[in-house]
Amino acid sequence: MSGAAEKNKFVFSGRWIPEKGDAGQVFLSLKYWVTNDLGLGFDYRPLVDDVSITATYRLVAEDPCGWRPAVILGTSVDDFSDGGDQVESRSYFATVSKALPQFKVGGITPSPYVGAVWIDKLNELRPLAGLSLSHKEASLMVQYSGTDTHLTLSRRINDNLSVSAIYWGMKYPGLGARFKF
Print pLDDT tens along the chain (181 aa): 455 556 779 999 999 999 998 999 999 999 999 999 999 999 999 999 999 999 999 999 999 888 999 999 999 999 898 887 888 999 999 999 999 988 877 899 999 999 999 999 999 999 999 999 999 999 999 999 999 999 999 999 999 999 999 999 999 999 999 999 9
The answer to whether the CB of 117 falls within 8 A of the CB of 91 is yes
- H or E, element range at 160: none
Judged on CB neighbours under 10 Å (0-12, 13-18, 19+), 23 is middle
Look at residue 24 and give its three-state secondary structure.
helix
Distance CA 46, CA 67 (A): 42
Q: Which CATH superfamily is domain 10-180 in?
A: monomeric porin ompg (2.40.160.40)
- The predicted model scores a pTM of 0.89
